[in-house]
Amino acid sequence: MAQPFIEFKDVSKSFGSLHVLDRVNLKIYSGEITSIIGKSGVGKSVLLKHIIGLLKPDAGQILINGKPLSEFTRSEWRDFKRSLSYMFQSNALFDSLTVFENIALPLVERTNLPSGQISEKVDFRIQQFELLEVQDRYPSQISGGMQKRVALARALVTEPAMILFDEPTTGLDPLRKNAVLNMIAHYQHEIGFTGVMVSHDIPDVFFISNRVAIIENRKIPFQGTPLELEQSDDEIVWQFIHGHEVLQDQLTGLNSKPEVEKLLSSLISSASSGDSVSAAALFTIDDIDKIKEGVGYIASQRIFQCLAMILKGLLDAKEYAARLGSGEILAVFPDSQLDRAEEVIRCLSERCSMEELMDPAKYKKVCIDFAIKAGTVEVDGSMDLTALIARAREKQKVIAKMECKGVADRK
Amino acid sequence: MNQETAAGSGSFVNFLNLLGQFTLKLIGELGAVAIFFVHGFSLIFSYPFQFGKVVQQVYFIGVKSFLIISLIGLFTGMVLGLQGYYTLVKFGSEGMLGAAVALSLIRELGPVLTALMIIGRAGSSIAAEIGIMRISEQIDALDTMDINPMRFLVSPRIAASVITFPLLTALFDVIGIIGGYLTGVLLLGVNSGIFFNRIYDSVVAKDINGGFIKSLVFALIVSTICCYQGYFTHMRPGGFGAKGVSLSTTSAVVISCVLVLVLDYVLTSFLL
């Protein structure tokens, strides 16, 4: 791959006894949008502030086009800085200037443009970000979402070669959030600037990112394309991508996927050494994607949640279950025969048929047929994890059904 | 006995240690303020000149202080006239009242009281404004936009102070003399001609220049201290956020007032 535009090499940063970055390595390529994601307070903004020179690393180097930032001459640093824009998480708007003056400030102070041309550029951004009505107001007189848009307009008004966005969509309503992300993506395609974005909006931010980096425990455990991110087996990565699912799983009491996979792998190895025999069962909502498209995301998740809660209620303390995919649950029965797994399936089938979500009358507007399937498999040590799951999938049979017969409007 | 001596010398070493630390910190701080001043002052002359921002600050520091300076000047002159009359009349020298009032105001009270009033009115708000800009990352934002925050925030305030302090001091002096006239001549019956003739005879250019120099020095000191305290609010160990700003504002006012009075003595010693 080409030489990165910006490269962090073993960068460490501490504030007193608080270690924020520990030998962080990160590559940012020219003409791409790189998103940095991570929990609050892990040092995302600190990372961003190193690029613009607001913070200096305690150890390590930051390279710009292969040259260490610390070796930049004054004019090189000035040129680099002039090619950047930074959008602060706190917006950092000047509270004694109006919205118009805030957006115009970098042009007024940094360029020799005539005032007419400055007004033209600022008016364009004001219209683009729907700020016409508040252009004469002060930042304290407008809402947080509007302040965010003003900060974004100010970052874009100089048409910089690189923009650092520190949580550009936090505090915006969903419609405006999408509009802002669209605008960033559109502008990036049009002008081709390099963007570095710190964001919590997962997965929305992935759609406009060329590369994603995850920061966790003072390090960057993953950096790569969104596709590589989705295919990563790393537990931290998985939790980030499926954050909303993790929350639902916690609500239903399901275990985490890596936890169950780890248990199953250890059961496979103990079965292969002949120590014990265990069983596993795979439950699938068929077809959850169709439900998502037809009835809606919330309904599809409700059905999944319902299945997960019934299943969790049927399991013993030593038995584990985790979400495997968007509509699949894998249950593991350590030191148990297949009978135990089949007994759980039987009970689950009975309980499901009594559930409100399986009643077609509840789907008054749009109704889609769906079924819950289950398959069992013995953990005997002859198969690896993937083969075992595939085998369970092969053996799946319908254990509960929801048919829309008799409902007025159906698909 | 030996143990007592060792304990005594130990606490003396501790005392010296603390004194040394304090002295080093003080010298470091003075050096930082000096660098800050030189940086901010030199940027006044950098091109393009910031006329607009200087005029804005002249309006804020100068024009908006006009009323309060006039009021304080008037009553200071009046009380000087009153006190001066009853002191001088004991010696039969009430004719010297004009000279006493004018010299007190021009040499001492004018520059000092004007500086103290501006510290209270404008200095505190300069420290608070810059402090809030620091904690809300507005100064960092300037930096990221490649706008020099020292040039943008500090230089216009120093320039405006240099312009307004002497003018406000002159205003204070004139209104103070009018105040002295009101009590001395109109209230207590001192001859009007003698009042002004004594002023004309006793006030020389050296007195006016001395007052002018004092007001210039106070302008530089007050504007630098107030800007410095606000600018480095985030470095303050005692508090962060709003508390940090309030501490910076208090420090700006206290340090400026103390320095004005100390420097007044030092300057007077040299000017006399």
Give the residue-averaged pLDDT of A211-232: 85
* Residue pLDDT, tens place only, A5-22: 999 999 999 988 888 899
B136 interfaces chain A, CB cutoff of 8 Å: yes
Strand partners, A375: A282
Mean pLDDT taken over chain B: 92
CA atoms within a 13 Å half-sphere pointing along the CA-CB vector of B112? 18
Give the residue-averaged pLDDT of A112-130: 91
**Which residue in A206, A216, A370 sits closest to A300, CA to CA?**
A370
pLDDT category at A53 given cuts 50, 70, 90 is confident
CB A334 within 8 A of CB A263: yes
pLDDT category at A230 given cuts 50, 70, 90 is confident
Q: Is the pLDDT of residue A411 over 60?
A: no
pLDDT category at B183 given cuts 50, 70, 90 is very high
Phi, psi (deg, nearest 5) at residue A290: -65, -40
pLDDT category at A408 given cuts 50, 70, 90 is very low
Q: In chain B, what percentage of residues exceed pLDDT 70?
A: 97
Identify the sign of the CA torsion A91, A97, A99, A101. Answer: negative
Cis amide linkage into residue A289, ω under 30° from 0:
no
Torsion angle of C-alpha atoms A308, A311, A317, A320, degrees rounded to 10: -60
CB contacts, 8 Å: A90 with chain B: 136-137
**Which residue in B183, B180, B160, B162 sits closest to B172, CA to CA?**
B180
pLDDT at A121: 93
pLDDT category at A292 given cuts 50, 70, 90 is confident
CB contacts, 8 Å: A52 with chain B: 143-144
Q: Label each residue of B140-186 as H, E or C.
A: HHHHHCCCCHHHHHHHHHHHHHHHHHHHHHHHHHHHHHHHHHHHHHH
Give the residue-averaged pLDDT of A308-317: 85
Per-residue CA distances from A170 to A152, A154, A256, B27 (Å): 12, 17, 28, 45
Rounded to the nearest 10 degrees, the angle between the axes of helix B205-231 and helix B155-181 is: 140
Looking at chain A from residue 60 to 99, which residues have their Cβ under 8 Å from any Cβ of chain B? 78, 81-82, 84-86, 88, 90, 92-96
Decide if B152 and A85 are in contact by the 8 Å CB cutoff.
no
CB contacts, 8 Å: B129 with chain A: 96
Q: Is the pLDDT of residue A274 over 60?
A: yes
Decide if B129 and A96 are in contact by the 8 Å CB cutoff.
yes
* Residue pLDDT, tens place only, A320-356: 888 877 788 888 888 888 888 888 888 888 887 777 7
CB A194 within 8 A of CB A23: no
Decide if B146 and A82 are in contact by the 8 Å CB cutoff.
yes
CB A254 within 8 A of CB A323: yes
The first and second tokens of residue A110, run together, are: 């940094």
pLDDT at A406: 59
Q: Is the pLDDT of residue B156 over 90?
A: yes
Cis amide linkage into residue A360, ω under 30° from 0:
no
Give the residue-averaged pLDDT of B37-60: 93
Taking CA–CA distances from A87, the nearest residue in chain B reads B141
Phi, psi (deg, nearest 5) at residue A327: -130, 25
pLDDT at B4: 67
Q: How far is A204 from chain B (nearest CA, A)?
A: 27
Q: How far is A86 from chain B (nearest CA, A)?
A: 6
Strand partners, A401: A371
CB B190 within 8 A of CB B94: yes
B235 interfaces chain A, CB cutoff of 8 Å: no
**ipTM for the whole complex:** 0.80
CB contacts, 8 Å: A88 with chain B: 137, 140-141
| Nearest by CB: B147 against A53, A96, A109 | A109
Least confident of A13-17, A61-65, A248-252, B28-32: A248-252
CB contacts, 8 Å: B138 with chain A: 92-95
* Gap between the Cα atoms of B81 and B182, Å rounded: 8
CB contacts, 8 Å: A106 with chain B: 145, 147
DSSP string covering A327-369: TEEEEEETT--HHHHHHHHHHHHHHHHTSGGG-GGG-SS----
* Gap between the Cα atoms of B156 and B59, Å rounded: 12
* Residue pLDDT, tens place only, B8-48: 778 889 999 999 999 999 999 999 999 999 999 999 998 88
Q: Which residue has the tokens 């309904």?
A: A299
| Nearest by CB: A81 against B137, B146, B152 | B146
| Nearest by CB: B141 against A78, A84, A92 | A92
Q: Is the pLDDT of residue A246 over 70?
A: no
Q: Where are the beta strands (DSSP E) in A40-193?
A: 59-64, 67-68, 84-87, 162-166
B6 interfaces chain A, CB cutoff of 8 Å: no
Decide if A95 and B146 are in contact by the 8 Å CB cutoff.
no
* Gap between the Cα atoms of A346 and A337, Å rounded: 15
Q: Which residue has the higher pLDDT, A39 or A92?
A: A92
Identify the sign of the CA torsion B116, B120, B123, B127. Answer: positive
Per-residue CA distances from B265 to A407, B162, B258, B260, B262 (Å): 97, 20, 11, 9, 5
pLDDT category at B3 given cuts 50, 70, 90 is low
